[in-house]
Structures are given as structure tokens and as C-alpha cells.
Chain A
Amino acid sequence: MTLLEELELAKQAALAAVTAAPDLASLDHAKGSATGPEGRFTVLMRRLGSLAKEERPAAGKAFNAAKAEIEAALAARRGELELRAAVPREPFDFTAPGRRRGTGRLHPLTRVTDDIVRAFRRHGFAVADGPEIEDERHCFDALNTPAEHPARDAQDTFFVAAAGRPLLRTHTSSVQVRVMETMAPPIRIVVPGRVFRRDNADATHNPTFHQIEGLYVDRNVTMGDLKGTVEAVFHELLGDDVRLRFRPHYFSYTEPSLEIDFTNALVRKLGKEWLEIAGCGMVHPKVFENVGYDPEAWSGWAFGFGIERIAMLRYGVTDIRAFYENDVRFLRQF
């Protein structure tokens, strides 16, 4: 047997041992018995010098090639065995629930309010605010609500036990007055906020609830403008399949006054043709006079609605009290 034939046998044996090594220790052993100091390969290599001079280059080449082959096999097998050793004993169950940090949710009334605010802002409205404790002037008188008007009843309005007969605002329209008193026209605001009526709590009433209203005052504002903006806001809020209907109504602070009904698939599912959703109108000249605007020079419109009502419709909530109980199971649905 020539040296090269022995080399071939040794290589085959080494490759077989590497491939068969069941773990890293066996692999190390296989490596030692092949290329270690006393390995079969090393021993053969020492005999290289005994070859004829002209045979040596070819034999050297063959040795190098064989060694490279064995080392490549070793590296490959080592990679396989290391990976196998790294795989955890207990497999991860990808179907089991993950570990959560838990994020909170915004209150549904906040979400609806913000959606409405966003729709208004898209049309150039700025968010405005005013106090929740009001006086009769801002809540009623300046809004052309006469002293005898049923809305002014102690029956319906909460009064605060303090000097000056302050009251809890019954609508966000009081902010209209506050803003117009302090700012010069033009005005383009949207006012979200809490309002209060002296209703006992039931499925559709809570003494505290939320309204939002828009006010636009400028030169040459018409009822067409009112309808156009109302439509733009509601299309954004309720989707493009919504249809609106305006019909005459009465509010003391607008003239003409309109109520707005809407319809869409949801309304029809409720078995109704139209659902009342908001009130609006052209700002009454008396209101302008009361805040010191010239009703001949300025005109404007206002429109407002209840946030709970929209939230109940949107989320299918049937009891308004759920919004104020803050049951976390309820809150987490939004």
C-alpha cells in the first residue's frame, strides 16, 4: 500500500468518524485521532519525507487537500452539534399567551370627542373652552333665553350654593358668549365639554354629560355654509353613506333654527327611518347684540350635539351610566 493509498484510507476513516460523532466530545475525540499530535493523519504526514523527491510535491498537495476536507467536515459537524446543544429542552409554545406590559385605553367619550374635534379642526376650527360653573348671563340671558323659559327652571338646572347664584352650565353654548365677549370676529371654534342637567340617572340620562358645538362667525355667513360644514363634519364622523336631513326647529339663540336627522345602515337596522342627532341654526341677532357684535356686519351659525348619544350609537352602548361607572372590562373594549 502506498502512502497515498494509506492517506486515502485515513481520510475516509476520519470523515466517517466526524460525520458519526453524536456530540461535541465525540467530535473532539474524532478530531484528535485524525489530526491530533498522535493522530493517524499526523503520523502519516511524518512519513512524507521518506518519499522520493519528485513524488513529494504531489503527495504534499494531496495531504493538504485531505486535511482541508477533514477540517471543513469538522467545522460543519461542529456547527450542527452546537446548534443541537443550544436548542432548549422545553420547547416554546407559540400558541400560549405572551407576557404583556398592558397598555390602557382612552375612555370612549374621549375617543368620540377627539374624532369630532378632528373633523372640525380639518375645517379650520380651533378648540375652545369655558368654565363649567356659569352665571345666568352667559348660560341664558346673553343667549336670548328669556327668564320665563322652561330651560331656566330650577327644576332643570343645578344651582351652586354661593353668592351670585352661580349655576352648572346646561349647555356648552355658554362658551359662545364667553369667546365672543373676549375675541373680535371672525370666530371659528369647536367647544367640547361637560354640561349638567337636573335629571335623575337612568339608561338615557346622567346629570353629568358631554356636548360639543361649533360656532362660526364671519362676514356673509349663510345657512348654506351651515349646511355645508355640518355635512362635511358628519360625513367624516359617520362615514360617506350617511344622509342628513335638516328640518325647522326652535332654539332661542338661533334663528332660523334647524334640527338635524341622519340615516345610514345603522339607523335602518334600528328599524328607524331617521334619527335626530343635532341642533343648529344661524346665530340670533340678539345674541350678537348681547356680546357687542354688529348683527348687520357679522353673521354666523352654531351647531351642537350630545357626545354620549353619538358614542352610544357608535359602540352599541345601551345604558349611558356605563360611561360613568368605568368598569375596566367596559373600558378595555375601546
Chain B
Amino acid sequence: MKVTLNWLKEHVDFDWSPAGLAERLTMLGLEVEGMEHRPGELEGVVVAHVVSRDPHPNADRLSVCRVNDGKGERQIVCGAQNFKAGDKVPLILPGASLPPKPGETQPFTIKVGKIRGVESHGMLCSADELGIDAEGTGHRREDGLLILREDALPGQPLAAYLGRSGPDVVYDLEVTPNRPDLNSVLGIAREISAVTGNPLRGVETGYEEAAGAADAAGLVGVRVEAPEACHRYTARVVRGVRVGPSPGWLQSRLAQVGLRSINNVVDVTNLVMLETGQPLHAFDLRLLGRDADGRPTVVVRRAREGETFTTLDGVERRLGPESVLVADPGKGIALAGVMGGLNTGIQPDTTDVLVESAWFDPANIRRTSKALGLRTDASYRFERGADVGAADMASRRAVRWILELAGGAAAGGVVDAWPVRVPANEIALRPLRVRQVLGIEVPEDEAWRHLKALGLQGPSDGPGGATVWRVPTWRVDLKQEIDLVEEVARLHGVDRIPSTAPRGARGSHPFDATYDVWMELRRMLAGHGLNEAQGQTLVSGASARMASGEVVSLSNPLSSDMDVLRPSLMPGLMDVLRHNMSRRNADVRLFEIGRVFRGGEAGVTEGWRLGIAMTGARNPAFWAGEERDARCDLADLKGVVEEVLEWFGLRGVVFSRRAEPTTLWMESATLALGGKRELGQMGQVLPTVARRHDLRDPVLMAELDLDVLLARRNAVRSAKSLAAFPSSQRDVAMVVDESVTHDAVLAAVRAAKPANLESVELFDVFRGRHVSSGQKSVAYSFTYRAADRTLKDEEVTASHQRVVEAFRGVLRATIRE
């Protein structure tokens, strides 16, 4: 909503500066989004009275004049011939500028100077020089100066004489959707009136009905056939108008708030909408079809299925019964509350005008406007809730303006069809409640003053010491007690409510501890050199299906690359790798903690996941060393996964290698706890898939189910006393089949049950020279120790021999000596 400082001042007094007004409106809840100072038109041009006109001593065509500019006399040298002493003419004062003429870029600034040896303190102007249409403003068009009317006052700004606007400030206000009453100058002025205590000046709505004029009811009929969507419909008639351009003041006022001038009748409907908030429409009465009784008749009805209607903008629209049409007996004439029809609008030769001022149901207007993609100033106001009580007032105001600006004669009275009357809302307010909510005592007389100033009527006595207030029709947002408490807080000033230090109950929630787990996990992973990523929840169906078949789709996606909910963090991480590669970041190690979504028979489920992705160099760049060119491989990923599992206190996680590549993985394994609950998976992405993402180095990814990890988390830690006796170490190197896994080696060791074995460590894997293909050489280190004594060499050897025999027997290993 745009409004100007001067316009507001017409309706309420206040002495704030332009910035002060912005501040006050903002603190009332009317946020000022923009504030623009507009210079006045024709600044520095005033009405001058020519006192004398004498010939110039040095030039035949020039004259030397004395003029009265309202403050005193000044001397002007002038070249025009069409004026005489006693005339009133426009004078531009030194320092002011003439508007640039077509083709000129710089305005011409007037200076004091000598013309042929005689000083001139300003310049008398022609209509052309000022950019004014002489005839359009009611003056004679002639060569030379613009000769002003007799009633012009010396010193009066020419803009004021012409009815043009002076300097003003235009405010762009954000009106919250609950306050449709603030979409009007009067509504905003009412707020200022309430906060200052200065009276609100309403709009004049009186007008004279022409003597012997016919009654409106005789000239037009109104039938509301959809009363649920149209609670009230008023019609007034003005006959014999002259449609033409609006006067300058009206054109510039509309322009200031962003509206285009159409003609005097249409401009009046817009002006009154801005003044009162009530949207109006003007029909050319002669274009309305007649009812059986011979009267032009308005029928408010639902559109028929498939009914077409062409709105004022020339667009033919297909309607349905959800839309309400204003019609005559034969055809639609307006899309109710949204836009008038092309068939009955005001024409240049319109003489008889029907002024519509009605109340349409907000939900209905909203649906219609939405369905048609057609938003107008009228639909904007109706869909937020118009003031049913203002319909007649606004209609009278419009007729008054039409009579003044377009002439004609008003028909008697009004046709006011008001089939649905909603009783005024009454709200009980307990003084205690104000204190309870705001935490401060607002004196009762102050609270009452605020409510009355907003137009509430009361108080009358309610139960239990409450006061009962009757809500005015324009305040559709006031529904219950708390709404009145807010009004009191607003007008008292929320900045005057003192803050109280945090106090009261401590909170609790089951997620609180989980939050800490996620945060600590994040820090742990960052400690292992992984950067945290935050991916998009919405991903493309194509990439999602790479990770899962049970994909959850949106029913109204924005685009096909964001049409499903991520079923896994991996597709998003792949996209992030690709993005980084496109920016030439080839070395990327990331993790993400976030939610994923799965569909299925049981409905949509969501769960927390940890995703890990790595590609490129294993180590940060360095200038020496064998490892500097090393690329990340599966063992790097496995190391991080092990750290995560250990951090969760989980032992016995089984990594099961998938026998074959999948559509995503070249080599991969599933992780399960106790062989049952699936924990996640990890692997190396197929090179073909990686290359589709522009990735050349091996791409390693893992995804773990954090809900399971959290449920199985074992955070208990205990310290064991450190060993007091020395250990003995034995190493074994052996050649085994490729199919013998580390797990198989450990299982063989466990089965051999060697006494006093403390730990087993894999320290070398080797293929190649002296090892035939299909086999590998592995080396393990065994540590033996007893808690209560130093082991004898023979004891250790005996134990270890069991292990070696098991390797020979169970693993068919060749022991390398």
C-alpha cells in the first residue's frame, strides 16, 4: 500500500517529520518498506502580478516589467507581447529550473543577469516553457505568456494554482494480511489518530440529488442470487456525465501511488478505493441488459460451468461455478471483486453511470483470482476482507466526486441489497488478562482510550468484571480477547514493555542428547580430515534411483532436477563431488549428517544418515615423501568407518563383501551388526558412474544408518589397569589363497584358542614376486602376555605353535620361514 504524507495530513493532524512518521508507522506494525521524497511540480514557479510594463531602453522587442511576487516587487526583462500591467502571469524565480524540452537533457536554470544592459531577476513564462497544456488547464492558448485567471494570488505556487501536487513523501507500507483496513488512507490515518489522540477527519460523502430525479431503484434492479458469496451489493446511478480527462491534481495523486489515470469516472472509483479501502466499479448503464420489468438489472450469480467472459484487459476467461459473476439478465458484466467486463466499461461517450460498491467473500475472491492468475487492486482488498459497513459510504463518496469532476445528475437514493447481515462481533476483555500477557499494568482508562480510538464501541459490562467491546466492521481481524490485548500493547507501545531476565522451568526433550551425539560425531569426523557438507533434500529422480528404488516423489515439484526426496545421502554427495571437480577441486573428503526418506507400503519414513565421500589425494599437498601422490582408496574409507563404529562403541560389525558389482558399486560391502541389523554400506563407485560425474580418481563412499548406530550406541567406557609384566612377540608370514580374508585368519586364530594371546595385528600384505597369482602373502604379529607373571619362552612357543598349525590346517597356508 502506497500513501503520501500530505494525503494523510488531510485526514489527521500530526507534527512528525517524514522520517518520524515512518518510525511511528513501523512501531505500530505498519512496516515502511520504502520512503521516497518527491519534489513538487513546477518548483520555484509562482504567480506574479504585473505592476508595470515599460519599453526596454536598448531593445525594441523587449520590455522591462515590475512584478509583485507576493513578497515584494522585482524587475524582469521580458520578450513577450501578449500581456499588460494588471495581468497575472507565471514567474520563475532565480535558482529554479525550467523542465527540459523534448530533445534537451539538461534543465535550464534561471539566473539573475543583465539583458541588453538591464537587470532581470527571474523570467515570466509561457505555457510551453513550463510544459503545461494551456487549454487542458482552462486557459487561452496564445503566443507569449500564460495569462492566469483573475483569482490567482501573487506569490501562490503555480502548482497550487493549477491543483498540482507540491513536494510530498510517498511511503510504501507492508500491510500484514490480517489488517485489510490498512489498505486505505483513512485506515492508516485512523491508526495515527489513535496514537496521537488527534481526531480523524473522515471524507465528505454528501451530494445533492437532482431536483425531480428518478429514484435509483426505478432505474436499476439488483438481484443477489449467490448471497453466501456476496453479502451486500449497492448500486447508485449518475446520469448525464461527461467522461473526460481527470484534473491535474487527481492525475498526479494517482501517479504518486502508482496508478495510471484512465478518465474522470474510472479515476474516481480508484481514488475512493484508495481513500476508503472499498473497491468500486463503474458500469456504463446503457450497456446493461434489461429485465422483464424493463429495468437494467444486475444479477450476482455463480458462473456456469465453462461460461466464458472477457475481462476489461481483453482476455477471454473460462469460468466455473466456483467463480461469482456480476451479470445482467443475459450476460456477465464483471468478474465479481476482481475485474470488470470489456462489454460494459466506461466509454468516452458514456453518459449514465452505475456505481457498484459491494462485499464479496474473501475465500471466493482468492480462489477465483488464483485460478485465473489475475490479481487486481480490488481482488487484493476483497480477498483480505473488505469492510461491509463501508459499502454505502464509499458509494456516496464516489457519486460526490463524479458530480464534481464529470457533472451529471445523481438519481435518488441507492439500491442496497444486503441479504446477509453478520452481527457485529462483541469481545469481553478482562483487565487481568492484559497484565498476564504483557507483564505490565496498563491503566484501565488508557486501555479504554486506545480501544475507543480504534473505533471499538464500549465498554459495556461483561461477566466477572470484564468489559465488553463491539468491534467495528472494518476490523475483521479482531475475534477474541487476545486480539484486544494486542491492540492495547500496540498502542501502549511494545518498546515500553520492560524485558524480564530469563526465568522459570528448565526444558527437557529426548532429542536433546541426540543433538549432542550428532555434534560430537561431526567434530570427530572433521578431526579425521573430512569437511562437513549440507546437501539438498530435494534431488532428481534419476540420481535418487541410483541409490534406492523406494523413492518418495513430490506431487508439485518446481523442476525435474528437484522432484524427489533424497532416499540416501550418496546421490547428493556425488553431485557435490562433481561440482567440486568442475571448479577444479580434485581432492575432496566430505561427510554429511542428514535425513533421508523412503517410501513403501507402510507410508513414508524418514531417518538420520551419515554419508561419507572421498576422492583424490590421500594427504594434503606436500613437497616431499613417498605418499605425496597417493590417492584415497577403500582402506582410507574403511579407516574412517572403523573410527565411527569405535566411537559409537560398537564391536562385532560384520563387513560382507558383495559378490558382484552393482549399478553403483564396483566393489562394495554391506555392514551389519550381529549379522542381522543392517548398518549401512561402503564401497568404491563404478568408474563408469564416476566418469559420468567427471571424476577420474577412485570415488569411495559410505553411508551408515545413524538411527541404528544411536540405538546400539555404547557410550560406557572403563579403564583397565595397564599390564605389569612384559609381553612376548611372534610373527607369522604365510602365503594363502586370495579368498582367505582377514576375518577368516582371525577366526582360525580364535578356533586355535592359544593361551595368553593378547592381540593380533596384520602388518603386511604382499603380492607379486615369489607369490603365485591367486595367492597373497600376509604377515601377522602376535603378542602374548600374562597378567600375573612373565611368560616363559617355551609357553609362548607352545601357544604360538597352535596358531601356526591352525593356519596350515584350516587356511591351507604355506608358512614362510
A contact residues vs B (CB 8 Å cutoff) = 96-97, 99-107, 109-110, 114, 117, 123-129, 131-133, 148-150, 153-154, 158-164, 166, 168, 179, 183, 186-190, 194, 196, 198, 200, 206-208, 216, 218, 220-225, 227-229, 231-232, 245-250, 255-259, 282, 284-285, 299, 323-329, 331-332
Contacts and interface: CB of A to CB of B under 8 A. Distances in A.
Interface centre among A164, A188, A206 (most CB of B within 10 A): A188
B534 A221 contact: no
Contact of A107 (B440, B502, B532, B604): B532
18 contacts: A104-B526, A107-B533, A110-B532, A129-B509, A129-B514, A129-B515, A148-B363, A153-B370, A160-B565, A168-B554, A189-B507, A216-B507, A223-B497, A228-B499, A250-B29, A250-B177, A299-B436, A327-B585
Given A117-B515, A198-B556, A248-B27, A299 B437 contact: yes
A224 B494 contact: no
B362 A245 contact: no
Given A133-B597, A166-B604, A246-B494, A124 B623 contact: no
Most chain-B CB neighbours within 10 Å: which of A117, A256, A327?
Answer: A256
Given A160-B565, A190-B507, A208-B536, 17 more contacts: A96-B623, A99-B622, A104-B531, A104-B532, A148-B366, A158-B554, A168-B537, A189-B507, A224-B499, A224-B500, A249-B29, A250-B179, A284-B482, A299-B437, A326-B534, A326-B535, A328-B590
B558 interface: yes
B531 A328 contact: yes
Interface stretch (B445-453, B483-491, B716-724): B483-491
Interface in B562-595: 562, 565, 576, 579-580, 583, 585, 587-591, 594-595
B228 to A, nearest CB: 15
B522 interface: yes
Interface residues of B, number: 95
B511 interface: yes
B494 A127 contact: no
B482 A97 contact: no
A282 B530 contact: no
Contact of A222 (B31, B438, B576): B438
Nearest to B527: A103
B756 interface: no
A92 B467 CA distance: 87
Contact of A131 (B28, B481, B557, B606): B606
Given A105-B532, A247-B494, A127 B512 contact: yes
Contacts of A258: 494
Contacts of A255: 482-483, 485-486
Contact of A329 (B558, B583, B625): B583
Contact of A223 (B437, B526, B555, B625): B437
B626 interface: no
B504 A221 contact: yes
B103 interface: no
A285 B535 CA distance: 38
Contacts, number: 266
Given A117-B515, A124-B507, A325-B579, A248 B494 contact: yes
Nearest to A99: B622
Nearest to A331: B531
Contact residues of A: prevailing secondary structure: mixed
A99 B519 CA distance: 28
A221 B436 CA distance: 8
A126 B512 CA distance: 6
Interface string B461-496: 000000000000000010011110110011000110
Given A132-B606, A158-B556, A247-B27, A104 B529 contact: yes
A324 B535 contact: yes
B205 interface: no
A97 B554 CA distance: 50
Interface of B: 26-29, 31, 176-179, 362-363, 366, 370, 436-440, 477, 480-483, 485-486, 489-490, 494-495, 497-509, 511-512, 514-515, 519, 522-523, 525-538, 552-559, 562, 565, 576, 579-580, 583, 585, 587-591, 594-595, 597, 599, 603-604, 606, 619-620, 622-623, 625
Given A99-B622, A163-B603, A324-B535, A249 B176 contact: yes
A240 B526 CA distance: 31
Contacts of B576: 325-326
B511 A128 contact: yes
Contacts of A129: 509, 511, 514-515
B506 A109 contact: no
Contacts of B481: 285
Contacts of A106: 522-523, 526, 532
A221 B597 CA distance: 38
A208 B527 CA distance: 27
Contacts of B552: 160-162
Nearest to B498: A224
Contacts of B528: 103-104
A124 B606 contact: no
A208 B556 contact: no
Contact of B504 (A104, A126, A150, A218): A218
Contact of B525 (A104, A249, A285, A328): A104
A120 to B, nearest CB: 9
B417 to A, nearest CB: 25
Contacts of B497: 223-224, 227
A104 B524 CA distance: 9
Nearest to A129: B511
A109 B594 CA distance: 13
A220 to B, nearest CB: 7
A100 B585 CA distance: 18
A210 to B, nearest CB: 8
B502 A123 contact: yes
